[in-house]
Structure 1
Amino acid sequence: MAEPITERDHEQVRRLHTEGKSRNANARAIGRSAPAVSKIAGLEGPTFAGDSRVARRGRGPAGRCRRAARAARRRNPLNGALR
Protein backbone atom coordinates (compact mmCIF):
# COMPACT_ATOMS: atom_id res chain seq x y z
CA MET A 1 0.00 0.00 0.00
CA ALA A 2 1.27 3.47 -0.89
CA GLU A 3 2.34 5.92 1.75
CA PRO A 4 -0.23 8.58 2.66
CA ILE A 5 0.03 11.89 0.85
CA THR A 6 1.80 14.40 3.06
CA GLU A 7 1.80 18.17 3.30
CA ARG A 8 5.32 18.05 1.86
CA ASP A 9 3.90 16.34 -1.26
CA HIS A 10 1.35 19.14 -1.57
CA GLU A 11 4.04 21.80 -1.26
CA GLN A 12 6.27 20.12 -3.83
CA VAL A 13 3.44 19.76 -6.36
CA ARG A 14 2.50 23.43 -5.90
CA ARG A 15 6.12 24.52 -6.38
CA LEU A 16 6.77 22.31 -9.40
CA HIS A 17 3.49 23.31 -11.00
CA THR A 18 4.36 27.00 -10.68
CA GLU A 19 7.65 26.17 -12.41
CA GLY A 20 5.62 24.84 -15.33
CA LYS A 21 6.41 21.15 -14.83
CA SER A 22 4.02 18.57 -16.24
CA ARG A 23 2.09 16.09 -14.13
CA ASN A 24 4.45 13.26 -15.08
CA ALA A 25 7.53 15.39 -14.38
CA ASN A 26 6.07 16.26 -10.97
CA ALA A 27 5.42 12.57 -10.26
CA ARG A 28 9.02 11.64 -11.10
CA ALA A 29 10.40 14.53 -9.04
CA ILE A 30 8.49 13.68 -5.87
CA GLY A 31 8.54 9.90 -6.26
CA ARG A 32 4.78 9.50 -6.57
CA SER A 33 2.52 8.10 -9.26
CA ALA A 34 0.93 10.38 -11.84
CA PRO A 35 -2.58 9.65 -10.46
CA ALA A 36 -1.35 10.64 -6.97
CA VAL A 37 -0.09 13.96 -8.37
CA SER A 38 -3.44 14.48 -10.10
CA LYS A 39 -5.21 13.82 -6.81
CA ILE A 40 -3.00 16.35 -5.02
CA ALA A 41 -3.51 18.86 -7.81
CA GLY A 42 -7.27 18.34 -7.63
CA LEU A 43 -7.17 19.26 -3.98
CA GLU A 44 -4.86 22.21 -4.56
CA GLY A 45 -6.48 23.65 -7.67
CA PRO A 46 -3.82 23.50 -10.41
CA THR A 47 -4.61 21.52 -13.53
CA PHE A 48 -2.33 19.68 -15.89
CA ALA A 49 -3.95 20.31 -19.27
CA GLY A 50 -0.70 20.42 -21.19
CA ASP A 51 -0.10 23.21 -23.63
CA SER A 52 -3.09 25.48 -23.15
CA ARG A 53 -3.19 26.37 -26.85
CA VAL A 54 -3.77 22.71 -27.67
CA ALA A 55 -5.76 21.76 -24.60
CA ARG A 56 -8.26 24.58 -24.97
CA ARG A 57 -8.62 24.46 -28.73
CA GLY A 58 -12.15 23.49 -29.60
CA ARG A 59 -13.63 24.49 -26.27
CA GLY A 60 -15.91 27.39 -25.68
CA PRO A 61 -18.41 29.10 -27.99
CA ALA A 62 -16.14 29.22 -31.06
CA GLY A 63 -15.36 25.52 -30.79
CA ARG A 64 -19.02 24.62 -30.35
CA CYS A 65 -19.88 26.69 -33.41
CA ARG A 66 -17.19 24.92 -35.50
CA ARG A 67 -18.39 21.50 -34.33
CA ALA A 68 -22.01 22.37 -35.15
CA ALA A 69 -21.03 23.59 -38.63
CA ARG A 70 -19.08 20.38 -39.32
CA ALA A 71 -22.01 18.28 -38.16
CA ALA A 72 -24.39 20.22 -40.40
CA ARG A 73 -22.08 19.69 -43.39
CA ARG A 74 -21.99 15.95 -42.70
CA ARG A 75 -25.80 15.76 -42.49
CA ASN A 76 -26.37 17.64 -45.78
CA PRO A 77 -25.53 15.36 -48.73
CA LEU A 78 -25.76 18.25 -51.23
CA ASN A 79 -23.30 20.41 -49.32
CA GLY A 80 -20.80 21.83 -51.77
CA ALA A 81 -22.58 20.39 -54.84
CA LEU A 82 -23.59 23.83 -56.11
CA ARG A 83 -20.14 25.37 -55.97
Structure 2
Amino acid sequence: MATKFLDGFVSNAEAEARSTLSSVTIWRRSKAGTFPKRVKITARRVGYRRAEFEAWLVDPQNWRQSEVRCVRCREGSRRSSSGT
Protein backbone atom coordinates (compact mmCIF):
# COMPACT_ATOMS: atom_id res chain seq x y z
CA MET A 1 0.00 0.00 0.00
CA ALA A 2 2.85 2.40 0.79
CA THR A 3 4.30 1.70 -2.64
CA LYS A 4 1.14 2.98 -4.35
CA PHE A 5 1.36 6.19 -2.31
CA LEU A 6 5.01 6.69 -3.23
CA ASP A 7 4.26 6.12 -6.93
CA GLY A 8 2.87 9.66 -6.95
CA PHE A 9 6.29 11.07 -6.10
CA VAL A 10 9.75 11.26 -7.65
CA SER A 11 12.77 10.85 -5.36
CA ASN A 12 15.71 13.26 -5.39
CA ALA A 13 17.90 10.62 -7.03
CA GLU A 14 15.34 9.96 -9.77
CA ALA A 15 14.85 13.69 -10.37
CA GLU A 16 18.60 14.20 -10.76
CA ALA A 17 18.97 11.22 -13.09
CA ARG A 18 16.01 12.02 -15.32
CA SER A 19 16.60 15.77 -15.47
CA THR A 20 20.41 15.46 -15.79
CA LEU A 21 20.69 18.40 -13.37
CA SER A 22 22.80 18.44 -10.22
CA SER A 23 21.12 18.60 -6.82
CA VAL A 24 22.32 22.19 -6.38
CA THR A 25 20.89 23.25 -9.75
CA ILE A 26 17.58 21.58 -8.91
CA TRP A 27 17.52 23.39 -5.56
CA ARG A 28 18.24 26.77 -7.22
CA ARG A 29 15.63 26.27 -9.91
CA SER A 30 13.09 25.14 -7.35
CA LYS A 31 13.68 28.33 -5.34
CA ALA A 32 13.31 30.38 -8.54
CA GLY A 33 10.04 28.63 -9.42
CA THR A 34 11.42 27.01 -12.59
CA PHE A 35 11.47 23.46 -11.17
CA PRO A 36 8.82 21.69 -9.09
CA LYS A 37 8.94 22.37 -5.34
CA ARG A 38 10.09 19.62 -3.00
CA VAL A 39 7.38 17.99 -0.92
CA LYS A 40 7.90 16.47 2.52
CA ILE A 41 6.58 12.91 2.20
CA THR A 42 7.52 11.61 5.65
CA ALA A 43 9.63 12.90 8.51
CA ARG A 44 12.81 11.73 6.74
CA ARG A 45 11.84 11.69 3.07
CA VAL A 46 11.25 14.38 0.47
CA GLY A 47 10.47 14.21 -3.21
CA TYR A 48 8.61 15.89 -6.05
CA ARG A 49 5.03 15.36 -7.16
CA ARG A 50 5.25 13.05 -10.17
CA ALA A 51 2.65 14.99 -12.21
CA GLU A 52 4.52 18.30 -11.75
CA PHE A 53 7.88 16.66 -12.50
CA GLU A 54 6.53 15.00 -15.67
CA ALA A 55 5.06 18.34 -16.79
CA TRP A 56 8.47 19.94 -16.22
CA LEU A 57 10.16 17.22 -18.31
CA VAL A 58 7.88 18.01 -21.26
CA ASP A 59 9.03 21.65 -21.46
CA PRO A 60 11.73 22.54 -18.91
CA GLN A 61 12.55 25.92 -20.47
CA ASN A 62 9.01 27.31 -20.21
CA TRP A 63 7.69 25.54 -17.09
CA ARG A 64 6.83 27.84 -14.18
CA GLN A 65 5.73 27.00 -10.64
CA SER A 66 3.23 29.88 -10.66
CA GLU A 67 1.19 28.09 -13.34
CA VAL A 68 0.79 25.09 -11.05
CA ARG A 69 -0.05 27.17 -7.97
CA CYS A 70 -2.59 29.27 -9.84
CA VAL A 71 -5.29 26.60 -9.52
CA ARG A 72 -4.62 26.21 -5.79
CA CYS A 73 -4.70 30.00 -5.30
CA ARG A 74 -8.08 30.27 -7.00
CA GLU A 75 -9.50 27.45 -4.87
CA GLY A 76 -8.23 29.14 -1.71
CA SER A 77 -9.69 32.51 -2.70
CA ARG A 78 -13.09 30.92 -3.34
CA ARG A 79 -13.10 29.39 0.11
CA SER A 80 -12.11 32.63 1.82
CA SER A 81 -14.53 34.81 -0.16
CA SER A 82 -17.49 32.50 0.49
CA GLY A 83 -16.73 32.49 4.22
CA THR A 84 -17.01 36.28 4.59
TM-score for the superposition, normalised by structure 1: 0.33
Kindly indicate whether structure 1 or structure 2 has the higher relative contact order, using CA contacts under 8 Å at least 6 residues apart: 2
| Structure with the higher fraction of residues in strand conformation | 2
TM-score for the superposition, normalised by structure 2: 0.33
